[in-house]
Amino acid sequence: MIQSSTFLTTLHLLKRSVQVAAGVTLFKDKVGDLRWCEGASMLPTLNATGDLLVQIPLSSIFNLRHQAIQASDTSKNSSRLREPTTVDQLNLNRGDLVNFVSPLNPSVLACKRIIGLPGDKILVDQQPKHSHSSPDSSWQLSNAGYDYTHKTLLTVPDGHLWLQGDNYAVSVDSRTYGPVPIGLVSGKIIARVWPNFCWLSKPFQYK
């Protein structure tokens, strides 16, 4: 009897563990999950020592948008989803913070801000230089020393985003590896929960 009771208890705990694991996985895939982010590239928005962030997976955003559009089409007796652009489907905006797989290292998940959407024209400046021995026709004086002044105007291609860190002086971002494929983006950051709570979901407003 004791062995039977122990077996049933173990079986019950195993069942509950599987249910909890499935629930956590479903929540992470469909609702949101927590991500740890550290480093100086997003100062002063995020702490260099680390922040615990709330991420909404892009798959969850797309599903919600899909359902909303289908509901609005019901009155028109249409079951077909209108085809918006990819960034519209995913509700991505300039100023949003996103997590993405680094194009330089697939094992690294980076956090940057959306500066440009597909079709946007970006005036690209090279990474800021902290110092330079002497100015010439290609350098200008700044608070950090001399900055290279050669700039390039480019258009963000379809299916890509231009991502940069808020701390331009140290951030390795699209200025280094170019536009990032949307397929590398895992989710949108909406809030910080530690060390202090704050919403991070207010994008830049452009006229």
Among 83, 27, 5, 42, residue whose Cα is nearest residue 166:
42
Q: Domain map of the chain by residue range?
A: 1-31, 33-66+85-127+148-206
Q: For each of the chain's 207 residues, which pLDDT tens digit applies?
A: 555 667 666 666 676 655 444 444 444 555 567 888 888 889 888 888 888 988 988 765 544 444 444 444 444 444 443 444 456 667 888 999 999 999 999 888 899 999 999 999 988 875 554 444 444 444 444 444 444 455 678 899 998 999 999 998 889 899 888 899 998 998 899 888 888 888 886 665 444
The one catalytic residue among 60, 112, 171, 174: 112
Known catalytic residue at 134: no
CATH of 33-66+85-127+148-206, one of 3.10.100.10, 3.30.990.10, 1.10.3720.10, 2.10.109.10: 2.10.109.10
The one catalytic residue among 5, 30, 41, 72: 41
This model's pTM is above 0.95 = no
Known catalytic residue at 30: no
